[in-house]
Structure 1
Amino acid sequence: MSGRSRRDDWRRLDEGDVRVRPGRGTRPRSKRRPEHADARAAMVVGVDRGRWTCALDGDPSREVVAMRARELGRTPIVVGDLVDLVGDTSGRPDTLARVVRVADRSSVLRRTADDTDPYERVVVANAEQLIIVCSLADPPPRTGFIDRCLVAAYTGGLKPVLCLTKSDLASPDELAGAYADLDLPIVITRHDEEPDALRKRLARRVSALVGHSGVGKSTLVNRLVPDADRAIGAVSAIGKGRHTSVTAVALPLPGGGWVVDTPGIRSFGLAHVEPDDIVAAFGEFVEAAEECPPGCGHRGPPEDPDCMLDVVTADGEATAVRLASLRRLLASRAGLDDYQEG
């Protein structure tokens, strides 16, 4: 066939006669995701450099190491998250499962690095209680830190519990009295006694422990979970504890339940919290807060002269005391407290 004849044949072809193979990046991607009907439920109990240790079916004796599935993208996964796993869930050495789903969280403990940092960090998910560990001496207690933890608990859906340690060194009466109007459960421990009251409150629940370094948090964990083998930090000569816990870890309690030991916190920022989030924890003031002018911080005169929360206090002294407590938490959120880095 002559060259001219071949050219004539090509001219008679149209796009329907030519098969064009699409390039690798031009094929449409399906939005459908695998159903993973055979996935196994688990709870995240530890995180380490892109690997998650999970308790299969919530059983602490059946630990599985997993990676995040590609379809989850950068979905954050933290200790306490309830997840679904596929792949090798045998838990044998050198095996790796995949996290394909993360369940909706019932509660979240969040903090920011400081009060100006817009990036919030999720510390623990799905905990029922936040145990705020504060020593009565060595190092001395800081009500600012306690207030900030209360704000984080109220806004994150956790029930706060105040645990005062080292009562053999100082009386708890004054500090406990400062929170008597908040209906806040208070547990008192000492070095020479077993923490039976705290152990009873933790039983069959998921609880997170938070506190400055040196307050005795790791000592409590080692007593509550004999096999925890958590390091105990000594308190330095300047009254600041040395950090011993590096990452949060969930530890199973002998009588059922979990205790999440969090790292000793040097800063507890509340940049992610709005004033109305705190007011929501004080039901008697919610309706009045809705009548406040826009942008009201609910702190009263002179900062918020038209705040309507003062109207509610006409009902009695108890309400006035509750309002004082609420505004103390609001001041903590605003950075106007005795909070210091631990």
Structure 2
Amino acid sequence: MSRYDEEAKYDRPRRHTRPRTKDRPAYDDAVEGVVITRDRGRYTCWVGDTSTGHQVTAMKARQLGKQGVIVGDRVKLDGDASGDEGTLARIVGVVPRTTLLRRSADDDDPVERPLVANADQLVIVVAVANPEPRTGLVDRFLVAAYDAGMRPLLCLTKTDLADPDPLLSIYRPLGVESVTTKLGSEPAELREQLNDRTSVLVGHSGVGKSTLVNALIPGAHRATGIVNEVTGRGRHTSTNTVVLRLPDGGWLIDTPGIRSFGLAHVNPDRLINAFPDLAEITADCPRGCTHNETAPDCALDEAIREGRADAARVDSFRRLLASRTEAT
């Protein structure tokens, strides 16, 4: 046997498969839908107009890899998007998000957890009594809303049990709009603020979110609970995030009640941008200024002394800034 025959004996056999290509399908015929809920790898999407559309069950296509798909995402659907029983479409693309509400498990947890995409309003539900309001948690919700570019709205419930004005006075300097509701009454004020918007309801367990949803959307059948008289805490009744259609137009996204809201993902420097009047003043701050109460030579302090800034508004902003790193 020649030397060449000896070498050829150890050559790898040639593959006869077709070479892989980087070209991917364009999915020009894909239809667009909105993810309204997710359960164990299956996504329920709404396709079509708000009032006349239909639900489609879908799964994430393999080519999306680790790309996350969350409630509120606008997605491209390939395959059978008829919504007929037994059909299953594929999510082959995610439309760029306009907003993204996020949180972390704790303030020292670097992993952010996306909650809802493409919502334009964050409705912060707070009970004025039973359970007692937790302003620290409200502050954190506000920070998350400003960071996400969403409009915050305070919704005070159970105002038949206590005067809401002391709580409202805390947030008036921030210019946050608010509505009030009573047990058993029609939430007309809130309904008006929700029309033609995509709104997310957030709040501590037991504040009455599910009760509001049931009043706003007949047939929603969200489970309601009671507040423990000993601990003052509510019981989790909503266990998943779901998008619901409002009768008069718009979408309402109900989230499970929570007791903590980490903000490790929020850059404190971005918070000032939610307050254009104060951001303009801080342009005169020294480099690296934190804008908090102990920051030396902060331009906000000088603006207060000169009457160019409202002291109460600056104090409220600094309270939000402190909530970024303080436990609730």
TM-score by length of 2: 0.92
Q: Give the superposition deviation at 1:295.
A: 4.5
* Contact 2:140-2:323 within 8 A present in 1 as well: yes
**Aligned amino acid, residue 160 of structure 1:** P
Percent identity over the alignment?
52
**Aligned amino acid, residue 106 of structure 2:** D
Does residue 247 of structure 1 match 2:233?
Answer: no
Q: Give the superposition deviation at 1:177.
A: 1.1
Q: Give the superposition deviation at 1:297.
A: 2.6
- List alignment gaps of at least 5 residues for structure 2: none
Matches within 5 A, 1:144-159: 144-159=136-151
Does residue 333 of structure 1 match 2:327?
Answer: no
Describe the superposition over 1:199-238 as per-residue Cα deviations: whole angstroms up to 9, x where unpaired.
Answer: 1110111100000110000000001111111100111122
Q: Give the superposition deviation at 1:182.
A: 1.3
Is 313-322 or 117-126 further displaced after alignment?
313-322
Match of 1:39 among 30, 39, 48: 30
* Contact 2:300-2:309 within 8 A present in 1 as well: no
Q: Give the superposition deviation at 1:330.
A: 0.6
Q: Secondary structure at the match of 1:245?
A: coil
Is 40-49 or 92-101 further displaced after alignment?
92-101
Matches within 5 A, 1:15-30: 21-22=14-15, 29-30=20-21
| Cα separation, partners in 2 of 1:80 and 1:19, compared to 1, 3 Å | same
Partner of 2:187: 195
Is 236-245 or 288-297 further displaced after alignment?
288-297
Partner of 2:276: 283
* Contact 2:50-2:249 within 8 A present in 1 as well: no
Q: Give the superposition deviation at 1:29.
A: 3.6
* Contact 1:129-1:160 within 8 A present in 2 as well: yes
Does residue 55 of structure 1 match 2:46?
Answer: yes
* Contact 1:42-1:58 within 8 A present in 2 as well: no
Describe the superposition over 1:100-159 as per-residue Cα deviations: whole angstroms up to 9, x where unpaired.
Answer: 111111111111111111111111111110000000000001111111000000010110
Partner of 2:66: 74
For 2:24 and 2:305, the matched residues in 1 are separated by 57
Partner of 2:168: 176
For 2:3 and 2:146, the matched residues in 1 are separated by 80
Does residue 299 of structure 1 match 2:292?
Answer: yes
Describe the superposition over 1:231-253 as per-residue Cα deviations: whole angstroms up to 9, x where unpaired.
Answer: 00111122101101111100001
**Aligned amino acid, residue 152 of structure 1:** A
- List alignment gaps of at least 5 residues for structure 1: none
Q: Secondary structure at the match of 1:144?
A: helix
Q: Secondary structure at the match of 1:146?
A: helix
Q: Give the superposition deviation at 1:286.
A: 2.1
Q: Give the superposition deviation at 1:274.
A: 1.5
For 1:243 and 1:68, the matched residues in 2 are separated by 29
For 1:269 and 1:56, the matched residues in 2 are separated by 33
Q: Secondary structure at the match of 2:210?
A: helix
For 1:183 and 1:270, the matched residues in 2 are separated by 22
| Cα separation, partners in 2 of 1:58 and 1:67, compared to 1, 3 Å | farther
Partner of 2:199: 207
Describe the superposition over 1:186-208 as per-residue Cα deviations: whole angstroms up to 9, x where unpaired.
Answer: 10000131000101110111100
- Equivalent pairs counted in the alignment come to 323
Q: Secondary structure at the match of 1:179?
A: helix
* Contact 2:303-2:309 within 8 A present in 1 as well: no
